Amino acid sequence: MLSRLSFSGYFALLMLVLTLLFIFGVTMLPSYDPYGQNLAAGLLPPGGSSFDGRYYLLGTDQLGRDMLSRLALAGQVSFAIGAGAVMVSLVIGVTLGLIAGYFRGPVEMVIMGLADLQLSIPRILLLIVMAAILGPSPWMLAVILGITSWVAYGRVARGMALSLREREFVLAARAQGSTATWNIRKHLLPNVLPQMMIVGSYEFGQIVVMEASLSYLGLGVQPPLPSWGMMVSEGQTYLELAPYLAVLPSIALFVLVASLQFLSQAFTSENDSVDLPERIKG
C-alpha cells in the first residue's frame, strides 16, 4: 500500500508526523504550562515578552496563558478523542455492515433503516443534543462521536459484503460446510479491512472537525482542558484586538485534518488519466 503513495501522499504523511511531533513534543519542554495564568502578560502577540521578562513564542491568551502549550495540549485532546471515536465507530460500523450485507433479509432492513434514520438527523444536531444530555467529558465525547459515526463504515462494509457473499470463494466455502461466522471472519473481514482503513483515515479528520465544532459551540471539551474549537470561540471575541488567538488554533486544526484527508486521498486516488493521445503515434 505504501509503495503506491505518490509524492503528495508522502507529503501528507510528513505533515502528519510533524503535527504529531508538535502535539506530543511540546509537552516535554521545560517551560510547558498550559494552565498557568500570567496577568502581567495578557494578549501578548506571538514572539512577545511579558513585563516579567518571559518570552512567549506563540503569544498568550486573554488570561496570559501560553498559547504554545495550550495548542499542544488541545491537540492531544483532539487526537485522543478522535482516535477513540474512530475505534468505536469502526468496530460498530464494520460489525453491523458485515452482518447486514451477509445475512440480508430483516436484519439488513433493521440495520440499514437505523443508518438512514441517523443520516436524516444532521450529525452535529444529534451530537449537540447528546452532548447536552450525557455531559461532555472527553470519554463521553469519544463514545458519542463514535456511535454517531458508524454509518460511513457500515454502508461501505455492507456494500462490499453484498458482493463478497456472492463471490465464488465464499460459495465454495459454504459448499464445504462453513458457518456464517467462519465466512464473515475468514473471508469478508480481511477483504473489507483495507477499505475500512481508508474510510477511517478520512473519518478521523471529519471527527476532529466535529469535536472542534462541538467545542466551538461550547458543548464539547470543557475548561480548564483546552481544545482548538474552544480556543477559536474564545478568540472570536478578540478578533480585532488579537486575531492570532483564533487564527493559530484554526491553522493547527487545518494541518491535522488536511494531512489525514490528503493521506486518505492519496490511498484512494486512482489513475484517472485514462485519456486519448493527440496523435496515433506518440
Which residues make up the interface to other proteins (CB under 8 A)?
8, 116-117, 119-125, 128-130, 132-133, 167-169, 171-178, 182, 186-187, 190-191, 205, 209, 212-213, 216-219, 229, 232-233, 235-236, 239-240, 243, 246-247, 249-250, 253-254, 257-258, 261-262, 265, 270, 272-282
Q: Closest CB to other proteins among 18 and 239?
A: 239
Residue 71 has, within 13 A of its CA and on its CB side, a CA count of: 31
Q: Closest CB to other proteins among 142 and 164?
A: 164
Start-to-end C-alpha separation, the chain: 31
Q: Closest CB to other proteins among 65 and 165?
A: 165
Shortest approach of other proteins to residue 44 CB, angstroms?
19
From 181, 164, 36, select the one nearest 101 (Cα to Cα).
164
Task: Please tell me the distance from the alpha carbon of residue 4 to that of residue 263, in angstroms, as a whole number.
Answer: 12
Residue 113 vs residues 155, 192, 279: alpha-carbon distances, Å: 11, 22, 52
CB contact at 8 A, 92 and 150: yes
Q: Closest CB to other proteins among 84 and 229?
A: 229
Shortest approach of other proteins to residue 165 CB, angstroms?
11
Shortest approach of other proteins to residue 184 CB, angstroms?
13
CB contact at 8 A, 164 and 185: no
For residue 242, give the C-alpha cell: 488579537
Q: Closest CB to other proteins among 53 and 122?
A: 122
Q: Closest CB to other proteins among 31 and 236?
A: 236
Task: Please tell me the distance from the alpha carbon of residue 143 to that of residue 91, in angstroms, as a whole number.
Answer: 12
Shortest approach of other proteins to residue 16 CB, angstroms?
12
Shortest approach of other proteins to residue 56 CB, angstroms?
21
Task: Please tell me the distance from the alpha carbon of residue 78 to that of residue 38, in angstroms, as a whole number.
Answer: 25
Shortest approach of other proteins to residue 41 CB, angstroms?
23
DSSP conformation letters of 66-88: BHHHHHHHHHHHHHHHHHHHHHH
